[in-house]
Amino acid sequence: MNDYGPGFRRCTPINYAVFLCALTAASAALADNEAAPLNYFLHSYGPAATPTMHLGWVFVALLLAILIIVASLLAGAVFHKRPVEDFRKIGREEEGMPWIYIGTGISTCILVVLAIYSLVTLNVIAKPTHVPGLTLTVTGYDWWWKVEYENDDPARHFVTANEVHIPVGVPVLVKLKSADVIHAFWVPVLAGKTQMIPGLINQQWLEADTEGVYAGECTQYCGVQHAHMGLEVVAQNTAEFEKWRDAQRRTAPPTSAAGANAGQKIFLDQCAGCHTVRGTEAVGAHAPDLTHLNSRRMIAAGLLTNTPDHLMQWITHAQELKPGARMPSMVLTPAEASSLSAFLSTLN
C-alpha cells in the first residue's frame, strides 16, 4: 500500500470538503443553464422525473451530513492529544462500545427510512396519473432511434427518427424495443432510465409540464458510437403538436425541378435499400425514415445540426464523422451531390 505520509492523511477530509463545496458552487452557478451536463439534478419538467429529483436531493443532503460528521470526528482525532503524563495509558476497550451500538442503530434506522422512501418513489413514478393520451414505440438501433406513432387506423400510423414530439400535459406511453444490442432510453428531466433488450418490450411513460426541447440519450454502452446516440423530445402545445402530427402523416411531395428529379434517381439507386421516403419507391427499413427530413432539428442521432451543409458532410463523410456506423461514406461527383441535395431539400 502506498504511504503518502501523515500530512496527506490529515488533509484528506479537508480536501474532500473543499471539492464538494466547489462542486456545489458549480452546480449553483449552472442552475439556470438548462444545457448543463447534470441539469436533471437541478431541473425537472414532468411528474415522472420530479419525485426522483427530490429523492436525489435527499441522498445528497444525507451524504453531505455524513461527510461533515466523519470529517469533524477525524479532524478531532487527528488534533486531539493525550496529556504528556498519560501518553502510555490506554483506556478500557469496552468503554467505546456504547458509541458503536448507537452509531449502528442510527445508521440502520436511516437506511430503513431511505429504503422505504425509495420504494414509495418508485411506486409513484411506475404509472401515469391518468390514462395515456398517446402511444408510441421507440426502437434502438446501432446508433439511432426509430420512433413509431401508433394508431388504430393504419393510415394514421407513421414513423420518424431520433426526434419525439409530445403534447404538453399529456401522459405518453412509450414502448421500448431493441433491434440489435441492449440500449437504454433516458430523457433525464422527464423520466428515468429504461432498458431496451432484444426480444423484450419494456414500457415507460413521459409527460412534460412545459413546452421545450429536452435532450435524451442511450445510457447503456452499446458499441463504439454509444456516445453519439442522442435523441430529442419536443414538447408542444396541443395545437402545435396536432399540426406537426398531421404534417408527418403526409407522404413526400412529388418533385418537379430537373435537379430534384435527378437527385431522386440517385437516392433511389443508392439510398433506397436502407431509407424510406413515403410517396416514392424508397422503402428501406434499416435506416431512418427520411420522408420529412427537413422538419428535424438534428441529424445522425444528434451528432450534427440539420443544415444543408451538414447533411452533405454526413452523406459524404459518414465514416469519418461516426466511425462504425452503418451509414457508408458516399462518393459523389459535384453534380451528383448538388442534385441529391436538391432532392433532399424537398423533404419538408
- DSSP H or E segment with residue 21: helix 5-29
Q: How confident is the model at residue 79 (pLDDT cuts 50, 70, 90)?
A: confident
pLDDT number for residue 182: 96
Give dist(CA 242, CA 6) in Å, integer.
Answer: 67
Of 101-110, 167-176, 251-260, 302-311, the poorest mean pLDDT is in 251-260
Inside any domain, residue 54: yes
Residue 34 cell numbers, joined? 438548462
**Residue 106 predicted with pLDDT over 70:** yes
Give dist(CA 115, CA 108) in Å, integer.
Answer: 11
Q: Which of 199, 222, 249 is the last residue of a domain?
A: 249
What angle do helix axes 97-125 and 50-79 make, rounded to 10 degrees?
A: 170
Inside any domain, residue 312: yes
Asked if 141 and 121 sit in the same domain, the reply is: no
Q: How confident is the model at residue 98 (pLDDT cuts 50, 70, 90)?
A: confident
Could you report the per-residue pLDDT of 44-57, keeping only the tens digit for each? 999 999 999 999 99
pLDDT number for residue 22: 53
Asked if 12 and 120 sit in the same domain, the reply is: yes
Whole-angstrom distance between the N-terminal and C-terminal Cα of the chain?
Answer: 64
Residue 334 cell numbers, joined? 459535384
What value does the mean pLDDT take over residues 93-98?
70
Is 230 in a helix, a strand, or coil? strand
Of 34-48, 94-108, 260-274, the poorest mean pLDDT is in 34-48
Asked if 230 and 323 sit in the same domain, the reply is: no
Give dist(CA 239, CA 274) in Å, integer.
Answer: 33
Asked if 170 and 270 sit in the same domain, the reply is: no
Inside any domain, residue 195: yes
pLDDT number for residue 9: 42
Q: How confident is the model at residue 265 (pLDDT cuts 50, 70, 90)?
A: very high
Asked if 244 and 138 sit in the same domain, the reply is: yes
Could you report the per-residue pLDDT of 119-145, keeping only the tens digit for each? 999 999 988 888 999 999 999 999 999
Q: How confident is the model at residue 83 (pLDDT cuts 50, 70, 90)?
A: low
Asked if 272 and 214 sit in the same domain, the reply is: no
Give dist(CA 61, CA 308) in Å, integer.
Answer: 48
* Secondary structure E strands in 124-255: 134-141, 144-149, 158-161, 163-167, 172-178, 183-186, 194-196, 202-206, 212-218, 230-236
Q: How confident is the model at residue 5 (pLDDT cuts 50, 70, 90)?
A: very low
Give dist(CA 259, CA 237) in Å, integer.
Answer: 38
**Residue 65 predicted with pLDDT over 70:** yes
Total domains, the chain:
3
Give dist(CA 297, CA 241) in Å, integer.
Answer: 15
Inside any domain, residue 87: no
Give dist(CA 93, CA 114) in Å, integer.
Answer: 33
Put residue 211 in one of left, alpha, beta given phi > 0 → left and psi -120 to 50 → alpha. Answer: beta
Is 292 in a helix, a strand, or coil? coil
Could you report the per-residue pLDDT of 217-238, keeping only the tens digit for each? 999 999 999 999 999 999 999 9
Asked if 140 and 51 sit in the same domain, the reply is: no
Based on DSSP, count helices (H) and strands (E) in the chain, helices before strands.
Answer: 7, 12
Inside any domain, residue 313: yes
Asked if 25 and 108 sit in the same domain, the reply is: yes
Asked if 264 and 307 sit in the same domain, the reply is: yes
Largest CA distance in the chain: 102
Q: How many CB atoms lie within 10 A of CB 270?
A: 17
Could you report the per-residue pLDDT of 177-198, keeping only the tens digit for each? 999 999 999 999 999 899 999 9
**Residue 174 predicted with pLDDT over 80:** yes
Asked if 72 and 38 sit in the same domain, the reply is: yes
DSSP strand pairing (163-167 vs 230-236)? parallel
**Residue 88 predicted with pLDDT over 70:** no
pLDDT number for residue 78: 83
Please name which of 28, 100, 105 lies closest in space to residue 60, comparing C-alpha atoms: 28
Asked if 290 and 222 sit in the same domain, the reply is: no
pLDDT number for residue 24: 53
Q: Which of 125, 149, 181 is the last residue of a domain?
A: 125
Percent of the chain beyond pLDDT 70? 84
**Residue 8 predicted with pLDDT over 70:** no
**Residue 317 predicted with pLDDT over 50:** yes
Q: What's the order of all strands across the beta sheet hosting 172-178? A: 158-161, 144-149, 134-141, 172-178, 202-206
* pLDDT mean across residues, the chain: 86
Q: Is the CB of residue 220 less than 8 Å from the CB of residue 182? A: yes
Backbone torsions φ then ψ of 223, nearest 5 degrees: 135, -175
Asked if 70 and 142 sit in the same domain, the reply is: no
143 preceded by cis ω (within 30°)? yes
Give dist(CA 345, CA 136) in Å, integer.
Answer: 27
Tell me the residue range of the domain where 307 lies: 258-344
The residue ranking higher by pLDDT, 35 or 81, is: 81
Give dist(CA 54, CA 43) in Å, integer.
Answer: 10
